[in-house]
Structure formats: C-alpha cells, structure tokens
Amino acid sequence: MSPAFSASALLMLFALVSCGDNAKPRPENLLTSNDYEELDGWAPDGSLPYLTKEKAHSGVYSARVNSTTEYGGGFTNSLGKLSNTRVTKLRVHGWVWLPSKDANATLVTQLTEPATNKTIFYDGLKLVAASGNKFNQWAEVDKTMVLPANATYATLLKLYLWRDQSAQPVYLDDLQVERAE
C-alpha cells in the first residue's frame, strides 16, 4: 500500500467518523419538544396558519397567533405514551416574542379524560407576566405544575398557544415539556 493511499484512506475515515451523529442526547426527563422546524411540508400549503417565518428564536420557524389565528400549534398525547413512569409534576418551558403588554396570549396546559373529553386539569400561563414584561425581544417563559392525582396513563395532555383576545401577534418557539419529579 502506498503512503499516499494510506494518508488519503485515513483522511476519508476521519471525515466519515467526524460526520457521525452530533445530535445532543435527549434529556431523560424530556417528554416532548417542538422547535417548529419539522412542520413545513407536513400539511398542504396554508393549512398551518400558525406556522410562520416572521420571527424565530432558533431556526427559521415559530408558532404565531394573531387576529386571524386563534390557536397555534396544538399537541395532544396520552401521559402513558410520553413517559413509562407516572408523571406527577410537569414543567413547560419555551421562548416568546411579545410586541407589548397588549399581547396577552396564553400557553395552555390541559389534561382531559379520553372517554369523556372531560377536563381534569387546566392551567393557562399568561405570557406577558411570565415573560417579565419583556417586549420586542425573545423572553424565556417557564412554569412547573403539580398534576392531579386522578391523572392516569390514559389521560390526554393537551398543549396549545391561545390568542386569548390578544390584540397583537404573539410568537412561541423552542417549546419543551418535561417531567419535573
């Protein structure tokens, strides 16, 4: 084997190894997350009115509610599909962009019974207050909630951005939901 071949073979091997999976490992307590980057193309054009390129905390896309879009990017799944252990506390974390104090949208966390659709838990994170009244910039929001004892593996977790009569557009990005035990 010639030295030139060996050097180029080693260089190719190094390149292949360094191109390995650089994704960060998923934190053990993470139940779900959304950076809104993978939604483009999953529905016909215009059928996701909340998906926007106007502002983004990371990447290109975020969720937006405004006077014509009441809800932004809902998530629904059973607690049992999200975690193989009982979830008693939930942490919701994300980034919001609010233009002013009149952008009073809410990030809703709701638990419902699948057979009856009866709500057994509802919490609305008011984004203006949660952001610390930070406007025209991305602000981190965070809330930890104790779930009711009657929440079972079959109970549905629902999360969504609600306009809540906001007179101005509100943007949400990099949403994470974690088990907070």
Average pLDDT over residues 123-134: 96
Residue 14 has φ and ψ, to the nearest 5°, of -60, -45
Rounded Cα distance between 129 and 141, Å, is 9
* CA 68-128-171 angle, 5° bins: 45
Structure tokens at 76: 């629904």
pTM over 0.95: no
SS (H, E, C) 106-117: EEEEEEECCCCC
Average pLDDT over residues 50-56: 89
Task: Name which CATH class applies to 29-179.
Answer: mainly beta
Residue 7 has φ and ψ, to the nearest 5°, of -65, -45
Structure tokens at 109: 């966390």
More confident residue, 144 or 44: 144
Average pLDDT over residues 83-111: 95
DSSP state of 27: P
Average pLDDT over residues 96-119: 95
pLDDT at 91 > cutoff 70: yes
- Lowest-confidence segment of 34-38, 58-62, 121-125, 129-133 by average pLDDT: 34-38
Q: Which stretches within 49-106 are classed as H helix? A: 79-82
Q: What is the mean pLDDT of the chain?
A: 83
- Tens-place pLDDT, residues 3-38: 443 333 322 323 333 344 445 566 678 888 878 777
Rounded Cα distance between 141 and 42, Å, is 28
pLDDT at res. 74: 84
Average pLDDT over residues 141-169: 95
Average pLDDT over residues 78-97: 94
pLDDT at res. 107: 97
